[in-house]
Structure 1
């Protein structure tokens, strides 16, 4: 199997995984936003809702970059993000040096 074929297969599998995760997070958000009428859950649910929305935003961004062909390219400097980083953090938008600068 050529490297290009292997890379394409990895991206296809990644897209399927991200799509599945997006669907799971969407279902979770739907459950969290259902009004249970319990005021004790309101604070906890607010934090879970915010975290779930952030996760959905990251996943949808990665899916957009996959669709546009820009996935795996640092948004700051334009270099390739190492595959090892993408395997650990599939929604990474920056290479490590740029991420460190971005975080300050």
Structure 2
């Protein structure tokens, strides 16, 4: 049986708080990384193209994490955006900002 976030059990609330903590930590780490890249790296003489790619990637991670936290606040976190079924907890633990179940994700990338 697959554990989900949507249901009346106490462990679901515990998982929700664990995942919120993971997302908040990721947000802080990515924000600090962006600050480091935009403020400090420019003075270190890094290749401009590499620096731009790193900044874009970090901004994307911040946006994904912020969207996941927003979905938590709205009560839609942990549901696939396509089929609306609950995402397995294992997937959310591995990829807390996941927006699609593996089946829908495969269809999107095929």
Q: Judge same fold: TM > 0.5, yes or no.
A: yes
Q: Which runs of 5+ in 2 are unaligned?
A: 1-7
Work out which of the residue numbers 46, 55, 74 in structure 2 matches 1:49: 55
The structure, 1 or 2, with the larger RCO (C-alpha pairs under 8 Å, 6+ apart) is: 2
1:31 maps to 2:36:
yes
Matches within 5 A, 1:1-104: 4-34=9-39, 35-36=42-43, 38=45, 40-104=46-110
- In 1, distance between residues paired with 2:15 and 2:84? 21
Query: Cα RMSD over matched residues?
Result: 1.5
- Runs ≥4 residues deviating over 6 A: none
Residues 29-76 of structure 1: CA distance to partner in whole angstroms, max 9, x if unpaired? 0110123162x4322211111111111111111111111110111100
**Residue correspondences, number:** 101
| TM-score calculated relative to the size of structure 1 | 0.87
